Amino acid sequence: MLDEAQRLIPSTKVNRTIASKIDTLCGHLGEFVFAAYMFGDWQQHKVGKNKGETDFGAYEIKTSAFPFSEKLHLLVREDYAQKRKPAYYVQIVIDVKDAKAETIAAGTCAYLCGYATARQVDEAPLKDFGSKLQKDGGYRCHYISLKDLKPLNELKG
């Protein structure tokens, strides 16, 4: 998984504000994890095939690399939320050892935290959470606490 995620970076990297050195890698891994959960096969991902679209039709996968904590949030950039309206935003947290991690090691755990609807995201408060590279991110995000997300098993049922 990790090798394939790294291999795809040159063809998928987007030109936007960079919040960390592992943003793109993290996003790929999140999509792989979701594909494994939803379809039983991580190789059914759409990385590199869905540029400019949501990750999986109705599902937009939001992935963060942080030491896991229930105090984390689903974050959706304000500009992204205005452009696209997927039915569901799914939060995945890659459980790295350090909040400023610059790599993801093989065997690192990922948590499928839950989901929110586009309407819930649009109604969520906004805040600039900064980035791992500097104090101000330069953009605001809608945010919903992980504990307030709906369980993913509702999407499969």
* Counted domains in the chain: 1
Establish if 157 belongs to a structural domain. no
- pLDDT for the residue numbered 52: 79
Range of the domain at 88: 2-11+18-149
- Both tokens of 36, joined, read 């494994």
Residue 154 is assigned to a structural domain of this protein: no
100 assigned to some structural domain: yes
Residue 14: pLDDT band (50, 70, 90) is low
Section 5-23 average pLDDT:
78
Does 3 have pLDDT greater than 90? Answer: yes
Tell me if 72 is assigned to some domain: yes
How many Å apart are CA 115 and CA 62, to the nearest integer?
Answer: 10
- Kindly state whether residue 32 falls inside one of the protein's structural domains: yes
If pLDDT is split at 50, 70 and 90, which confidence band does 62 have? Answer: very high
In a domain, 117, yes or no: yes
Q: Provide CB contacts within 8 A for 36, sequence distance 6+.
A: 42
Tokens standing for residue 135: 């104090």
pLDDT in tens, 74-83: 999 999 899 8
Q: What is the pLDDT of residue 135?
A: 62
Let me know: does 99 contact 66? Beta carbons within 8 Å. Answer: yes
Buried b (16+ CB within 10 A) or exposed e, 47-59: beeeeeebbbeeb
Is 155 a domain residue?
no
Does residue 156 fall inside a structural domain? no
> Are the beta carbons of 129 and 141 closer than 8 angstroms?
yes
